[in-house]
Chains A and B, each alone.
Chain A
Amino acid sequence: MSTATLHPSQESAATRVVQTLLRSRELAIVIVLALILVVATTRRSSFVFSADGWRDTLLAPSILLLLAVGQMVVVVTRNVDLSVGSTLGITAYATGKIFVSNPETSVLVVFAAGLALGAVVGALNGLLVTVFKVPALVITLGTMYVLRGALTHEVGSDRMTAGDYPAHFEKLGNQQVLTIPVLTIIALVVVALVGYYLHTARGGRELYAIGSDPDAADLYGLPSGRRVLGAFVLCGALAGLAGVFSAARYATAFSGTGSGIELQAVAAVVIGGVAIFGGSGTVWGAAIGAFLLVTINRALPILGISEFWQGAVVGALIIGSIVLDRVLSIRRTHKLVEARDHA
């Protein structure tokens, strides 16, 4: 008890940053992502080095980026949100409804509406999970179907087409500032803000604490319910924003918009090194995971891999990253045990 188990590092700040980076789980996926980009670009330089290729490389992941960040915040608390695809579909369609009733509506209003609508869905999920203490997997599986059913009931066989979205909104789906697509810039700002909050803020750290041991967090007096609710609200709001993104990019929405994308969001989070049982992982990891997932799907045809194998490749990637996590965690445990025995 008397000997301090922790003492300040004697290495310089720069060395520590480099060492943390080298040891980080994120580095592995960055390397895979870089490899894919390099190989695809060698095969076809236009994959990155053409106006359309450059734009698509950055723009295509923007929707999944938002979903992955939201999902990561929920997963880190040892929960999951499967309803994000339905939320995305609802806001993508609602965006069209808003524009049909008034084509002059400002883009900012639509963004705010998407965020608010998504936050309401997130709050509903969060309340159900925290009040009734039912596993989020079951609750959000339920809300996923309820919301999709409600959307299909409301929309029927109607569909928003390019004619329903005004030109200024459709342009946004494609607009670039210094060759960087606007949607990507917004998504990256979200990644940075949420990542910074989770890394440094008290509330963010508490999310990790709740995820690694919910009972201990309760005993310690952390406001678990409030924090988990907050995580769901954020996840829902970002899914809502992703719906607006989807409408801007694809200029269409119908009752099936976004179905299945919730699993991609979970996959991105897992590939990004976020533990599915909560308590560890980073927003950066989830973001890179989303980037990797989308880029792989774009690159495989160029690498000459039949599209029927694309699902298999993504599956292998998920299994591979889980195995990697397991190996790393066993090694870490060994090291910690060794350190304890030597002390």
Chain B
Amino acid sequence: MRINSKRFAAGAALALVASLGLAACGSDDNGSGGGDGGDITVTFLPKNLGNPYFDTSDAGGEKAVKEFGGTYDEVGPDTAGPDAQVSFIDTAAAQGIKGLVVSANDPTALCDSLDAARDAGTKVVTFDSDTDAECRDLFINQATSEGIAKVQVDMIAEQIGDAGEIAILSAAANATNQNAWIKLMEEELKSHPDIKLVDTVYGDDDDQTSFDKTAALLADHPNLKGIISPTTVGISAAARYLSTSKSKGKVFLTGLGTPNQMRDYVKDGTVKEFALWNPADLGYLAAYATKALVDGDITGAEGDKFTAGDLGEFTVGENGSVLLGDPYRFNAENIDDFDF
């Protein structure tokens, strides 16, 4: 029997390449697994790529990782969906990443994957949007939900003269943080009896949807005096609609936004004041918290203390959460001091 030499050569080459590839994987595993306390690999997994908010927060994370000499990586889905992040978590766990920093699209949908990653030795830190407390080691809280709800209600009350109809333009109807804030804003509004919350609509953190929902809000509520949008995509889409509408200057808009997205609308008078924390600081703190976990300095128990570079010392609060600080108000006077 003759052996087809060409086919044999091709098969041999294939086998060689495959074994080389496998060998490369093997040596990689040994390298990262064996170096105890060596390279700290931290992967950031935002809700979706293409979101300037996570761009800034992850840049802060990268800065921190570089400061402590670790290896930084960022992965994520194109669009935010409840289970879009699962495959990225599985991959990170398979690669033996030391720390995974996640902003969760859904409080429970990620739990199985996160648990598997933690069983494989990966420390899991959530930021911006938490999962259920059992599925992660720490949550980096941008601000207390109470603080965020209060600053937004305070701003709208100041702008509309503490009386009149307001509405809320949120992100997805199942977004953890949005719903917590909305509930607390409703509580906070009880101390403003003349302000009436007439509607809550969902723009799905999509420009077009948020834009169209704003138009619908204005059409549906002729007496509307204010809109609160606790999402960066929502507030800028709402501002774009308002700026071209007859309601500009009559309906006040506030909420959570980034300076770069809102700059034009603050300058043309559509928006007076909005708030946010500094996302770069948030990512920076998340990276240092991950390092503290990986190094074993903290376990995520209440009362644990760690130092986060330039930001100073932080203490782990209840439910394994770490608080960044109070929200910051941006307006015409200070907006040019920021670029994110």
Question: Does B218 interact with chain A (Cβ within 8 Å)?
Answer: yes
Query: Which stretch of B201-209, B281-289, B317-325 is in the interface?
Result: B201-209
Query: Contacts A162-B264, A301-B201 hold; do A56 and B215 have CB atoms under 8 A apart?
Result: yes
Query: Which of A228-236, A253-261, A284-292 participates in binding chain B?
Result: A253-261
How many positions in chain B have a CB within 8 Å of any CB in the partner chain?
Answer: 39
Nearest CB of A to B80, in Å:
9
Task: Name which of B22-30, B46-54, B63-71 contacts chain A.
Answer: B46-54
- The smallest beta-carbon distance between B285 and chain A, in angstroms, is 19
Give CA–CA (A173, B260) in the complex, Å. 21
Partner of B211, one of A47, A158, A250: A250
Q: Are A252 and B236 in touch, CB under 8 angstroms?
A: yes
When distances are taken between beta carbons in the complex, the residues of chain B under 8 Å from A161 are 52, 236, 260-261, 263-264
Please name the residue on chain A nearest to B243 by beta carbon: A162
Q: How many Cβ-Cβ contacts under 8 Å join chain A to chain B?
A: 108
Q: Is A280 an interface residue (CB 8 A)?
A: no
Establish whether residues B50 and A152, one from each chain, have CB atoms under 8 Å apart when the complex forms: yes
Q: Are A255 and B78 in contact (CB under 8 A)?
A: yes
Min distance, Cβ A331 to any Cβ of chain B, angstroms: 38
Do B246 and A51 touch across chains, with their CB atoms under 8 A apart? yes
Does B207 contact A257, Cβ atoms closer than 8 Å? yes
Q: How far is the CB of A283 from chain B (nearest CB, A)?
A: 24
On chain A, the residues within 8 Å of B187 by CB distance are: none
Tell me how far the C-beta of B162 lies from the nearest C-beta in chain A, rounded to whole angstroms: 26
Residue of B with least CB distance to A48: B219
Q: Is A97 on the interface with B (CB-CB < 8 A)? A: no
Known: A162-B265, A308-B173. A52 touches B219 (CB 8 A): yes
Q: Which of A276-312 contact B (CB under 8 A)?
A: 297-298, 301-302, 307-308
B260 nearest in chain A by CB position: A161
Most chain B beta-carbon neighbours within 10 Å: one of A46, A251, A302: A251
Q: Say yes or no for B245: interface residue by CB 8 A criterion.
A: yes
B-facing mask of A27-54, CB < 8 A → 1, else 0? Answer: 0000000000000000010110011110
Whether B58 is near chain A, meaning CB under 8 Å from some CB there, is yes
A192 to B212 alpha-carbon distance, docked (Å): 26
Q: Is the beta-carbon distance between B215 and A52 smaller than 8 angstroms?
A: yes
Residues on A close to B: CB < 8 A? 44, 46-47, 50-53, 56, 60, 148-149, 152, 155-159, 161-163, 173-174, 246, 249-252, 254-257, 259, 261, 297-298, 301-302, 307-308
Nearest 4 Cβ contacts at the A-B interface:
A255-B50, A157-B55, A162-B264, A174-B244
Between-chain CB contacts (< 8 Å), 19 pairs: A52-B219, A52-B245, A52-B247, A53-B219, A152-B49, A157-B49, A157-B51, A157-B52, A159-B50, A161-B261, A161-B263, A162-B263, A174-B244, A250-B237, A252-B207, A255-B49, A298-B219, A301-B216, A307-B213
Chain B residues with CB under 8 Å of chain A are 46, 48-52, 54-55, 58, 78-79, 173, 201-202, 206-208, 211-213, 215-220, 222, 236-237, 240, 244-247, 260-261, 263-265
